[in-house]
């Protein structure tokens, strides 16, 4: 039974991830509607949830077309890569005690590696489309993701130093008393911003940037291949939210002072839900920065903040060790 558990969980995550991403497309539109004083899709079924099914039917029945000028193999491979990479990232997420597919001692590195692989999808998609807008989108995504990758990793060093482990279970256990969102507030801010850039969601959706690049890297994509890109994006959103909760908001632990009177998985999903709502709020509120602003924000602001964070965290930890 215990050997079957990861397989069952993996299947659950696969189905749940796809279903969650589908529901998220509707939920995000409704939530944006709330914040923009309108309704969003509310026609089909209760609260408009039938919109999810309608969208899926539409996408499934669309012509699965590959442009004749595109690099066929790479063009088809690109959208699958992002979904696979993001799905793999869920393997190390600890949803509840014992409720994870695999508890590796380099879980954090595995997660960073998998999100980095997603860059290939966007990059190759833009390159294979053989279209100038797609190429520009791919180019931007490469520069954006590679540079934000740097301090996405660095922003987590503080967490690793405080918990003394790369294992996500150990990191969650280390937050039993106090969550890392207080001591690692700088790391949290940088990780959130880098996470948005990594999953290229608004306001950092420069690879898409529909006002300048029509649809950026997926200009030439349609039907299910386009749906795969969207699925990857929403999976990335969920994955980043899961990681923010795991690394900074105590994972499955209940909030301090209130306690653990609910099942651990419920606390985890509640926190992930709140973080996703926060990401949607960012989308509703913040305009997209210019490309050079994005890069200078990354290298001139975010990188120094993370380095200072590492320095201060290390110094404080050494000082506590010296005192004790």
User: Per CB under 8 A, does 185 bind another protein?
Assistant: no
Residue 42 beta carbon to another protein: minimum distance, rounded to whole angstroms: 8
Q: How far apart are CA 256 and CA 175, in angstroms?
A: 10
Q: Which of 281, 307, 312, 318 is close enough to bind another protein by CB under 8 A?
A: 281
Segment lying near another protein (by CB under 8 A), choices 19-27, 226-234, 281-289, 307-315: 281-289
Strand partners, 99: 96
Q: Which of 33, 50, 67, 223 is close enough to bind another protein by CB under 8 A?
A: 33
Segment lying near another protein (by CB under 8 A), choices 17-25, 33-41, 69-77, 250-258: 33-41
Segment lying near another protein (by CB under 8 A), choices 49-57, 214-222, 250-258, 280-288: 280-288
Return the closest-CA partner of residue 201 out of 268, 144, 126: 144
User: Per CB under 8 A, does 45 bind another protein?
Assistant: no
Preceding peptide of 113 cis, ω within 30°: no
- Number of residues located near another protein, criterion CB under 8 A: 12
Q: Which of 14, 16, 35, 57 is close enough to bind another protein by CB under 8 A?
A: 35
Q: Which is nearer to another protein, 63 or 292 (CB)?
A: 292
Q: How far apart are CA 166 and CA 169, in angstroms?
A: 9
Residue 236, token pair as written in the block: 């990335």
The residues in 138-167 that bind another protein, with binding defined as CB under 8 A, are none
User: Per CB under 8 A, does 305 bind another protein?
Assistant: no
Q: How far apart are CA 120 and CA 209, in angstroms?
A: 18
User: Per CB under 8 A, does 290 bind another protein?
Assistant: no
User: Per CB under 8 A, does 284 bind another protein?
Assistant: yes
217 contacts: CB under 8 Å, gap ≥ 6: 122, 123, 125, 126, 129, 134, 137, 138, 141, 207, 208
Residue 287 beta carbon to another protein: minimum distance, rounded to whole angstroms: 9
User: Per CB under 8 A, does 50 bind another protein?
Assistant: no
User: Per CB under 8 A, does 14 bind another protein?
Assistant: no
> 201 — phi, psi (to 5°)?
-100, 165
Q: Which is nearer to another protein, 201 or 218 (CB)?
A: 201
Residue 3, token pair as written in the block: 């050997």
Question: 88-127 burial by CB neighbour count: b if 16+ within 10 A, else e?
Answer: bbbbbbbbbeeebbeebeebbebbbebbbbbbbbbbbbbb
Q: Which is nearer to another protein, 3 or 37 (CB)?
A: 37
Cα angle 102, 107, 110 (rounded to 5 degrees) comes to: 105
Q: Which of 104, 282, 295, 316 is close enough to bind another protein by CB under 8 A?
A: 282
Q: Which of 102, 262, 285, 318 is close enough to bind another protein by CB under 8 A?
A: 285
Q: Which is nearer to another protein, 256 or 285 (CB)?
A: 285
Contact 222, 134 (CB under 8 A): no
Binding site for another protein (CB under 8 A): 33-39, 281-282, 284-286
């Amino acid at each position: 039974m215990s050997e079957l558990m990861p397989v069952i969980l993996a299947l659950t995550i696969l189905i749940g991830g796809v279903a969650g991403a589908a529901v998220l497309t509707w939920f995000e539109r409704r939530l944006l509607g709330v914040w923009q004083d309108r309704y969003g899709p509310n026609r089909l079924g209760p609260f408009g949830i039938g919109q999810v099914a309608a969208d899926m039917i539409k996408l499934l029945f669309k012509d699965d077309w590959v442009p004749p000028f595109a690099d066929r193999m790479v063009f088809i491979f690109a959208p699958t890569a992002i979904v696979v990479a993001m799905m793999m990232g869920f393997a190390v997420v600890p949803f509840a005690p014992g409720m994870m597919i695999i508890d590796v001692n380099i879980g954090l590195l595995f997660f960073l590696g998998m999100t980095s692989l997603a860059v290939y999808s966007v990059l190759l998609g833009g390159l294979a489309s053989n279209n100038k807008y797609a190429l520009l989108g791919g180019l931007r995504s490469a520069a954006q993701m590679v540079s934000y990758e740097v301090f996405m990793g660095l922003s987590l060093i503080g967490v690793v130093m405080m918990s003394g482990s790369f294992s996500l279970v150990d990191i969650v256990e280390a937050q039993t008393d106090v969550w890392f969102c207080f001591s690692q507030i700088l790391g949290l801010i940088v990780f959130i911003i880098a996470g948005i850039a990594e999953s290229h969601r608004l306001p950092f959706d420069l690879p898409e940037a529909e006002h300048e690049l029509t649809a950026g890297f997926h200009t030439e994509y349609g039907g299910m291949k386009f749906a795969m890109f969207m699925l990857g994006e929403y999976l990335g959103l969920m994955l980043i939210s899961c990681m923010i909760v795991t690394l900074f908001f105590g994972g499955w632990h209940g909030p301090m002072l209130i306690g653990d009177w609910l099942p651990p998985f419920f606390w985890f999903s509640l926190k992930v839900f709140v973080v996703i709502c926060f990401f949607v709020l960012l989308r509703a509120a913040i305009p997209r920065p210019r490309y050079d602003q994005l890069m200078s924000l990354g290298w001139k602001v975010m990188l120094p903040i993370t380095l200072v964070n590492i320095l201060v965290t290390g110094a404080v930890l050494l000082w506590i060790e010296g005192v004790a």
